[in-house]
Amino acid sequence: MSSPELSTKSPENDALEAATSTADAPPPLCDDCTSDRPTPSGQTPKGEVAKLSDVDVYISKPASYPTSPARLLLLLTGGTGLLSTNNQLQADRFAAEGYVVVMPDLFGGDPAPNSKTAAEIAEESNSGSFLDVFKVKAAETAKSFMIDMWLARHTEEKVLPLIKKVLEAAKDEFADAVTYGGGVYAVGYCFGGRYVLLLGQEKEVARAHGQQSDEEANKAKTEGPWIKVGALAHATLVSPQDFVGLKVPVSLVSVESDPMFPDEVRTAGEDVMRESGVEHEVQVYPGVPHGFAVIGEYEDENIKTAQATAFEQMLKWIEDH
């Protein structure tokens, strides 16, 4: 005999519960990481897409370069990737401040999926019926699944070597900028923010067996850091471990109560940097969405002001180092 609970539940209820259980957990990337806001009116990119080591990159240079010296800046994007107009405009902003900016395609022409959001579906289906609720939950579940699959295609094991390959090629192509700046500067947003931390680490690496003296065998071999200073805004997928081994000055632009970069991860990272003597600064911005620091059209004056302030924070940090 069936239980009362089972006998009163419809198949639709089972489906809704399945969708709800998956969708309730926050996705590893939010809409601000995977979709562009409207581009500010009247602005168009000034750089060009080229190739470095067979990787597509967006390159933006100061108007006076190479007549006037400039420094080399690596810009690492969120999931919207290389062809995002807003990302290109962000690169142009740094170029206007005296940097040769190299922005690589981290995803090989495969930017993060951007399906219809739950909010958009809710606006279209505002009757509040069971079917509308189910559509919202199903959309959230589907998008989360697509993001998970996308992240599985773009792991650290794939992305970090790609960045290093571009970095080496950029150092050759713009050797004058590297010399003038005393190294490579780096800024990162959302997905790219974590990789600024990884590039700023010094890591021990194994020596090839039989290729070292006894003295060398007792001395750890290290590599990195690959940059001289970093600044990152509303990073995603960061863990406290990503701060271990950090050797370069770092500035963090953070969002208050950001599920993509939780407070406990940020504070744990601050503890690691403090204990290891890494120069750093952290500014937490209240009342703004994740992704706010990337160029985009906002009506809220508070967000506009915060976006301008975040840019100045990151720019000042790299200029001062």
Q: Minimal CA–CA distance to 76: which of 227, 181, 188?
A: 188
Structure tokens at 244: 């271990």
CA atoms within 13 A on the CB side of 261: 29
Is 137 within a domain? no
The model's pLDDT over 258-276, given as tens digits with 9 standing for 90+, comes to 999 999 999 999 999 999 9
Cα angle for residues 27, 166, 193 (degrees, 5° grid) = 30
Is 106 within a domain? yes
- 32/234 Cα distance (integer angstroms): 10
Q: Minimal CA–CA distance to 186: which of 201, 197, 176, 175?
A: 197
Task: Please report, for the domain that includes residue 42, its CATH number.
Answer: 3.40.50.1820
Is 17 within a domain? no
Is 122 within a domain? no
Alpha helix (H) ranges present in the chain?
4-7, 11-23, 31-34, 85-95, 118-124, 130-153, 156-173, 175-181, 191-199, 214-217, 263-276, 301-319
- Concatenate the DSSP letters of all residues of 20-52 into one string: HHHHTSPPSS-HHHHSPPPPPTT----SEEEEE
Is 132 within a domain? no
- 76/79 Cα distance (integer angstroms): 10
- 178/70 Cα distance (integer angstroms): 9
How many structural domains does the chain have? 1
Is 20 within a domain? no
Is 227 within a domain? yes
Structural domain including 186 reads: 30-110+154-207+216-319
Classify the phi-psi angles of 145: left when phi > 0, otherwise alpha if psi is within -120 to 50, otherwise beta: alpha
Please report the sign of the dihedral spanned by the C-alpha atoms of residue 78, residue 80, residue 83, residue 85.
negative
- 19/140 Cα distance (integer angstroms): 8
Other C-beta atoms closer than 10 Å to the C-beta of 151 total 17
Is 134 within a domain? no
Kindly give the confidence (pLDDT) of every residue in the chain, 321 residues in length, as a single tens digit, with 9 standing for 90 and above: 444 434 344 333 443 343 333 334 445 676 767 778 888 888 999 999 999 999 999 999 999 999 999 999 999 999 999 999 999 999 999 999 999 999 999 999 999 987 433 344 345 445 555 555 555 555 556 667 788 899 999 999 999 999 999 999 999 999 999 999 999 999 999 999 999 999 999 998 876 655 555 566 666 789 999 999 999 999 999 999 999 999 999 999 999 999 999 999 999 999 999 999 999 999 999 999 999 999 998 999 999 999 999 999 999 999 999
